[in-house]
Amino acid sequence: MTIADELKSRNFSIYGQWIGILCIILCFALGISNIFHFDIIILWSVLLFISGLVLIFIEIPLLLRICPTSGGFDAFIRRFETNYMRAAIYGVMSLIQWLSLIRYATSLIAAAVFLLIAAVCYALAGFKGQAFQSSKTLGGQGVAQMIV
């Protein structure tokens, strides 16, 4: 199954996962770039960078198999294998970034918007009763099973 076939599947969990990949890139880029504000925004920048690190393990299951991680971390990441749990973590991460507006508006808003879109996609998949489906391109069911 190619990326185009996955996107044509009309499964919102696939959409959420691909938007999640975009969120990872934004989390790293904006987390690093906003660290140089030398203000309280550094707090939200660090939280965004940490969010990116967590999301990379949530969205690319192959990494849990090839990276040495602790059992506790693996158990934490495995909690987010359903659409509702992924919607929840993306929603919380988005809310944290929206709270950066308390100080002033920065480019962290872009991350908040995309995290919210991913949360909505996962929530829609849950509400529509769609089973969680991981992209095979990103190391989902097919690739991760071949490594074991």
10-residue block means of pLDDT along the chain (148 residues)? 64 88 94 87 93 92 86 90 93 94 89 96 91 68 45
Q: Hey, what are 89's tokens?
A: 């973590």
- Please state, in angstroms and rounded to a whole number, the distance separating the CA atoms of residues 101 and 73: 30
DSSP letter assigned to residue 35: G
Is position 113 within any domain? yes
- Please state, in angstroms and rounded to a whole number, the distance separating the CA atoms of residues 124 and 78: 21
Can you give the pLDDT at residue 147?
Answer: 41
- Please state, in angstroms and rounded to a whole number, the distance separating the CA atoms of residues 23 and 64: 19
Can you give the pLDDT at residue 39?
Answer: 86
Is position 54 within any domain? yes
Can you give the pLDDT at residue 1?
Answer: 56
Is position 5 within any domain? no
Is position 146 within any domain? no
Q: What is the pTM of this model?
A: 0.86
Is position 61 within any domain? yes
Please answer whether residues 62 and 143 qualify as being in contact, where contact means their C-beta atoms are separated by less than 8 angstroms. Answer: yes
- Residue the block writes with tokens 């009763």: 129
Can you give the pLDDT at residue 145?
Answer: 43
Can you give the pLDDT at residue 136?
Answer: 65
Which of 26, 23, 6 is closest to 15 using CA atoms?
6
**Residues of the domain holding 107:** 11-128
- Please state, in angstroms and rounded to a whole number, the distance separating the CA atoms of residues 77 and 61: 9
DSSP letter assigned to residue 38: -
Total domains present in the chain: 1
Q: Hey, what are 76's tokens?
A: 């934490």
Please answer whether residues 66 and 102 qualify as being in contact, where contact means their C-beta atoms are separated by less than 8 angstroms. Answer: no
Is position 137 within any domain? no
* Residue 132 phi, psi dihedral angles, 5° rounding: -65, 130
Is position 136 within any domain? no
CB-CB neighbours of 40 under 10 Å: 12
